[in-house]
Amino acid sequence: MKDNIVETENQVIANTYSRFPIVITKGKGCVLEDVDGREYIDFVAGIAVCNLGHSHPEVLNALSKQAGTLLHVSNLYYTVPQVELASWLVKNSFADRVFFCNSGAEANEAAIKLARKYFSDKGEKDRFRIVTMKKSFHGRTMAAMSATGQEKIRAGYEPVLSGFDFVPFNHLEELQKAVAPDVCAVMLEPIQGEGGIITPEPAYLEGVRKICDETGALLVFDEIQTGIGRTGKLFAYEHFGVTPDIMTLAKALGNGLPIGAMLASESVAESFSPGSHASTFGGTPVITAASLETLKVIERENIVDRSKEAGEYFKEKLLLLKNKHKVIEDVRGIGLLLGIKLKEPGADIVNACMEKGFLINCIQENILRFIPPLVIKNKEIDSLIDCLDEMLGSR
Ligand SMILES: *Cc1c(COP(=O)(O)O)cnc(C)c1O
């Protein structure tokens, strides 16, 4: 069965992923099961997606209830779950309005379009440039990729969309220089995820906000990875006392169902009017019902606080490992967006952990990333720490 699936995948699926040689068939809570019945504790969570764990009963219930009532209608009509989900997001964030789409890249597309439209509406059609960060990741569609500050992601697709400038993260002087009068927005992840879990230095994001305020450029936070409780606050911007004008969400917003959202303050959102932008599936009832239930569970069960506590516990254990193993150069991140930078490539350790029943992933060659469901238990964290201790001890 497993060999058959792997072989067929090699023949019929576009060759865009290098996959680990396991076929996953089931998930419950923080545990995944493969086709051979082997279990794995999941420290990847679909890449910061399944924050409530797999097969969460209440999310499943909301999903199947809505699926049996109304799966989809066009945005030509009003639906209850879409409006309720937007209301929840507006109530719990800086934003006044929400545009729904189906993925992170699409949320960033909407943000890029809105930033340009905002100045176009003001009669400043030449004000279209967007400054983003080196090592950023904003997605794989043409505009989101063009906004991504990593050569390897844009390679082969030139000419990419014009109008993007890149500056180093955590460097206010370079940003100041880059934000010329033709810049409509500064777009960044408050904590860089794919780039290596790079946290902002104290006062950096305040400085970014100040540069935007002084020049009139909009501030866009890509919270696709950091949002929905991942960092121990509902949104990462809350750690830094800095509010953006536009924020994008996706990943954990649907606990595994495909959904993206672009949130904006009223004065900015005003630039979208009927016909400005659209998505057939954006905000479709079945997905928004499941997403709303996800957020209600997070609220009711204080999952954001749990993320903070579990993250502190986990990070302390990682710091102890660092004291013990010289191969660990750095422990980084907040909440349950954590990583350790190794002095050597991390792929072997990821494979060895998988053999022992733990899924982790490695980014930027030598950074092991830990992004489990926010409901991960201390004893599950302990078991991974013991595994890593053993792995690292033998080198
Ligand atoms: C994953 C991610 C994206 C892209 O989301 P997709 O749903 O894969 O399009 C964009 N920005 C950040 C910060 C991400 O982590």
329 and 205 housed in the same domain: no
DSSP bridge pairs for 183: 129
Q: CA-CA distance, 223 to 200, in Å (whole number)?
A: 14
- Mean of pLDDT values over 362-377: 98
Q: What is the CA radius of gyration of the chain?
A: 21
291 and 309 housed in the same domain: no
Query: Which of 224, 231, 247, 337 has most ligand 1 atoms within 8 Å of CB, for mutation?
Result: 224
The answer to whether position 85 is within a domain reads: yes
Closest among 207, 220, 279 to 94, alpha carbons compared: 220
Q: CA-CA distance, 130 to 149, in Å (whole number)?
A: 12
Identify the three-state secondary structure at position 330.
strand
Q: CA-CA distance, 188 to 307, in Å (whole number)?
A: 23
The answer to whether position 393 is within a domain reads: no
- pLDDT surpassing 70 at residue 185: yes
Q: Which residues are catalytic?
A: 137, 222, 251
320 and 235 housed in the same domain: no
Residue type, 227: G
315 and 295 housed in the same domain: no
pLDDT at 338: 98
Residue 94 has φ and ψ, to the nearest 5°, of: -70, -15
Residue 222 Cβ inside 6 Å of ligand 1? The answer reads yes
- pLDDT surpassing 70 at residue 318: yes
- Mean of pLDDT values over 301-330: 98
**CATH number of the domain within which 137 lies:** 3.40.640.10
Query: What confidence tier does 1 reach under pLDDT thresholds 50, 70, 90?
Result: confident
Q: How many domains does the chain have?
A: 2
228 and 323 housed in the same domain: no
63 and 167 housed in the same domain: yes
pTM for this prediction: 0.98
Identify the three-state secondary structure at position 126.
coil
275 and 144 housed in the same domain: yes
- Distance spanning both ends of the chain, measured CA to CA: 35
- For 73-125, write each residue's pLDDT tens digit: 999 999 999 999 999 999 999 999 999 999 999 999 999 999 999 999 999 99
Arithmetic mean of pLDDT over the chain? 97
316 and 286 housed in the same domain: no
Which segments within 35-84 are labelled E, that is strand?
39-42
Core vs surface per residue 224-242: b (16+ CB within 10 A) or e = bbbbbbbbbbbbbbbbbeb
Query: What confidence tier does 395 reach under pLDDT thresholds 50, 70, 90?
Result: low
Stretch (H or E) spanning 146: helix 142-146
The answer to whether position 145 is within a domain reads: yes
Pairing of strands 129-133, 164-167: parallel
State how far the alpha carbon of 385 is from the alpha carbons of 43, 285, 345, 379, 393, in Å. 12, 41, 19, 10, 12
The answer to whether position 5 is within a domain reads: no
308 and 283 housed in the same domain: no
Total residues found in the chain within this entry: 395
Atom of ligand 1 nearest to the CA of 258: 7
324 and 289 housed in the same domain: no
pLDDT at 143: 98
Pairing of strands 39-42, 358-359: parallel
Q: CA-CA distance, 214 to 364, in Å (whole number)?
A: 35
What is the Å distance from ligand 1's center to 3 Cα? Answer: 31
282 and 266 housed in the same domain: yes
- pLDDT surpassing 70 at residue 162: yes
- pLDDT surpassing 70 at residue 226: yes
180: which 2 tokens? 């010329």
Domain span including residue 338: 304-345
User: CB–CB of 183/130 below 8 Å?
Assistant: yes
Q: What percent of the chain is helix, strand and coil (3-state, nearest 5)?
A: 40, 20, 40
pLDDT at 282: 98
State how far the alpha carbon of 117 is from the alpha carbons of 110, 192, 330, 384, in Å. 10, 26, 42, 48
The answer to whether position 2 is within a domain reads: no
pLDDT at 232: 98
What CA dihedral angle connects 295, 296, 301 and 304, to 10 degrees?
30
Residue 223 Cβ inside 6 Å of ligand 1? The answer reads no
Q: CA-CA distance, 260 to 221, in Å (whole number)?
A: 14
219 and 83 housed in the same domain: yes
What is the Å distance from ligand 1's center to 230 Cα? Answer: 14
